Structure 1
Amino acid sequence: MAEHGVVETRDAYFEAIETLAGGTGPIGIDAERASGFTYSQRAYLIQIYRRDAGTFLFDPPAIGDFSELNESLRDAEWILHAASQDLACLREVGLDPVNMFDTELAARLLGLPRVGLGTVVEELLGIHLAKEHSAANWSTRPLPEAWLVYAALDVELLPDLRDRMVEMLVESEKTQIAAEEFAAVLARETKAPRVDPWRRLSGVHSIRGQRNLAVARELWIARDALAQHLDVSPGRLVPDASLVAAARVMPESRQALADLREFSGRASRSELDRWWAAIQAGMSSPDLPALKASSDTLPPPRAWAERNPEADVRFKAARAALASVSDELAIPLENLLTPDFLRRVAWSPPESVSADSIGSALADLGARAWQVAATAQLIADAFVEVHQSICLPSESDS
């Protein structure tokens, strides 16, 4: 392979497998998508580096299935930065690590102030890593040489970065914590598809009336189908603001839609018949959506004081207690315990509050063993103290 050439044939792919299998130590791996440009979140470039083997840049659309590479490297530790962002597209082509080290997550657990790859590499290795192509359209073919150089550097430094972080995790006695967190990322299930995904339209909250919402829904469905067919990011066809504007105004004719100044975007006029048909479908649909989606999402904490005062006091007391532990461990509060977990136990605590019952509730939500050990007792103590302060009469009342 040329210095920054791309592996894009099956023959070259099998040669790369053989070379990588002869390398030593863990592998650095990364994937480049075309988020914001394409509909799919597939990988358009996969980079792998291994000591004594070198760097390989693979073209996933050209190669197809990577199961042979996955099997060859199955026993190696895979190093990724922010693995949760790349695992889905890697698994889509057959690359699924068993043993992983996440340098972004490790940076969080080590309490580093900034966790982007460039800043972490600079702080721990003293090397400046330019990130000017991170938001590029990686579906471009052929890929510019400068992009390939950038992509190669992203993985070539990962083994050295991992080694330094392992030392730091040992020094800070966080090796087991990191292992539990890495395992949790690998085991995390893919989120189920959203019910009514059209409700994610930016600005949909400004639409009043069920009929208007039905029009917004049909416009979203029409745009999504076209975006998927063209493999183009939906917002590049017609932005959310345009769909919302049309749903609010409810144009009475195709021409009225064409004249609507707020209805813009590169496909707003070339696909005008499609959008008008969607509006007509929404106007005549017997299936009118509810004004508000059903959800198990809790109210935002700022509304708790009015809606559930005791939960508000519990949440604030427990959060303050956890903040002190966060400072002591030099682990961000959101990594010490997922914020939603604390909100849920504060909103609906176990009937009998104790470290064991709080710990069980947290574990059921998905908290790791180390998180339960570090937080359950503190949360339980805070809840009990709040309950006593509310229920016990003060001396002036007696």
Structure 2
Amino acid sequence: MPHHPDSPVQHLSRPREGVPPVADTADAVRRVAEVLRDGRGPIAVDTERASGFRFDDRAYLVQVRREGAGTHLVDPALVPGAGDLLAPVMNDSPWILHAGHSDLPALTSLGWRTPQLHDTQVAGRLLGYGQVGLAGMLGDLLGVTVAKDKGREDWSARPIPTAMLSYAALDVELLIELLDTAMSRLTSLGRAEWYHQECQRIRVDWSHPVQPQDWRELRGIGSLRNRRGLEVARRLTEERTRIARERDIPPEQVLRSSSLLDVAKSPSQASRQLSRPQSGGRRVDRAARTDLLQAVQDALAADSSTLPTLPRSGARRPDHRHWAQDYPRAHALLQGFRGAVGDLSGDTGIRVEDLIVIRHLRSVAWDVSQASVATVPGSGSEDPVGDVENLLGSLLQDCGCRPWQLNLLVPVLLPVVVDLLG
């Protein structure tokens, strides 16, 4: 039953059916698979990971719950074949996750792929809830809340304390009821199809195995202005990854990314930079420093024809901070678009960033401002407004907007273009 806003919120400190035992043998995992197979409906799923303590974001505990099957805890660290044993039922069932993008890579690494994803966090965003964390949504929709204070614990340590197992089980305890209530509200608002489109996008985008960070994704990589510096960053990242994987520790514990980029900017100072304390006071240990310095030397000796290419300067549009002075039409469009999307957010209760990512809005504003005269009002076209409407739809689609977003955004952005360029 949906929670009445004036009713008190109940704190659930322990699973209603008690803390389930951990399936930490192959036979125990087989029994979980059999019980899940006899259940019905979607499977609520969550993972506990330990990327703050280990090399990557793989799952060290998987929690599953299904109607008619109850809650089960599976230890894939102690049962390496757990993924294969559970794959037949997991790959044949819809899942319910909360913030699925954070769990899907770990689940995919187990060999699992769901045919249909439900994400209760997506439901919360489309319902306009300010608090879309699990505890907040449980309180708002069901009148029950659970503790969320152990997610950063070391889930790779064994044995797992009972208090942590209880915490983990509670993460899936109410996901089925939460989805039912949220879907009822989405349906009443006519937003169920929006929800399904968003969940499908998350399923497609995030169903990939856990992967080490690519050097091109380093925060601040754009500050490197020459190809040799990029090569240093590439080789340092690869060597850092090798060392971290070998030791099963986070790459940042080998060498912080900020220090890595400092070395890439001034490789001639690498020995001194790798000898001094990094941010936080940690020093690179001697063995790692030797290997990292060799990576720098290899990068400096690499043939220039093999060096990475620099990204296009400024991408394909100028810095938006200069538009007001240098590109007034683009600036006016962007300001108008911001206002229109802000009004749409107020009308729908959906946050601006869930309607459209701001960098995409800038991209659309720039491209419209640079469109050929044949596509703008007053150009002599038989249907100039229709041309602009088609242009907006095409640009938004190129940015990855889903159909529900196109249907909301095009009607509010179109008048801005017509008013400014007409």
- Residue 226 of structure 2 contacts residue 310 of structure 2 at CA under 8 Å; is this kept in 1? no
Unaligned runs of 5+ in 1: 389-398
Is the aligned partner of 1:11 residue 2:27? yes
Q: Give the aligned partner of residue 139 of structure 2.
A: 122
CA RMSD of aligned residues (A): 3.2
- Residue 32 of structure 1 contacts residue 44 of structure 1 at CA under 8 Å; is this kept in 2? yes
Shift of 1:109: 0.3
Q: Deviations over 1:140-198 (max 9, x none)?
A: 2222222111110000110111121122212322222212222222233779999x943
Is the aligned partner of 1:294 residue 2:331? no
TM-score after normalising by structure 2: 0.80
Q: 1:46 is paired with a residue of what secondary structure?
A: strand
Shift of 1:314: 1.2
Write out aligned runs for 1:1-398 (5 A). 3-61=19-77, 62-64=79-81, 66-67=83-84, 69-74=86-91, 76-188=93-205, 197-202=214-219, 214-247=231-264, 250=267, 256=272, 260-262=276-278, 265=282, 267-287=284-304, 292-294=310-312, 296=315, 299=318, 301-349=320-368, 351=372, 352=375, 353-388=387-422
Quick one: distance in 2 between partners of 1:81 and 1:371? 22
Quick one: distance in 2 between partners of 1:74 and 1:188? 17
Shift of 1:48: 0.3
Amino acid at match of 2:249: V
My pick for the range that moved more, 126-135 or 272-281, is: 272-281
Shift of 1:50: 1.4
Shift of 1:229: 2.6
Shift of 1:282: 3.5
- Residue 19 of structure 2 contacts residue 169 of structure 2 at CA under 8 Å; is this kept in 1? no
Q: 2:65 is paired with a residue of what secondary structure?
A: strand
Quick one: distance in 2 between partners of 1:249 and 1:114? 44
Amino acid at match of 2:363: R
Judged with a 3 Å threshold, the aligned counterparts in structure 2 of structure 1 residues 135 and 301 are, in CA distance, closer, same or farther, namely: farther
Q: Deviations over 1:345-390 (max 9, x none)?
A: 21113542432332233234322222111111222221121113xx
My pick for the range that moved more, 62-71 or 231-240, is: 62-71
My pick for the range that moved more, 138-147 or 322-331, is: 138-147
My pick for the range that moved more, 256-265 or 111-120, is: 256-265
Q: 1:271 is paired with a residue of what secondary structure?
A: helix
My pick for the range that moved more, 32-41 or 99-108, is: 32-41
Quick one: distance in 2 between partners of 1:368 and 1:6? 40
Unaligned runs of 5+ in 2: 1-16, 376-386
TM-score after normalising by structure 1: 0.84
Q: 2:286 is paired with a residue of what secondary structure?
A: coil
Quick one: distance in 1 between partners of 2:29 and 2:263? 49
Aligned-pair identity in percent equals: 33
Shift of 1:93: 1.2
Quick one: distance in 1 between partners of 2:210 and 2:31? 38
Quick one: distance in 2 between partners of 1:253 and 1:333? 44
Q: Deviations over 1:265-300 (max 9, x none)?
A: 354334232123223223433438579533747555
Q: 1:385 is paired with a residue of what secondary structure?
A: helix
- Residue 106 of structure 1 contacts residue 165 of structure 1 at CA under 8 Å; is this kept in 2? yes
Judged with a 3 Å threshold, the aligned counterparts in structure 2 of structure 1 residues 109 and 299 are, in CA distance, closer, same or farther, namely: farther
Amino acid at match of 1:280: Q
Quick one: distance in 2 between partners of 1:344 and 1:146? 48
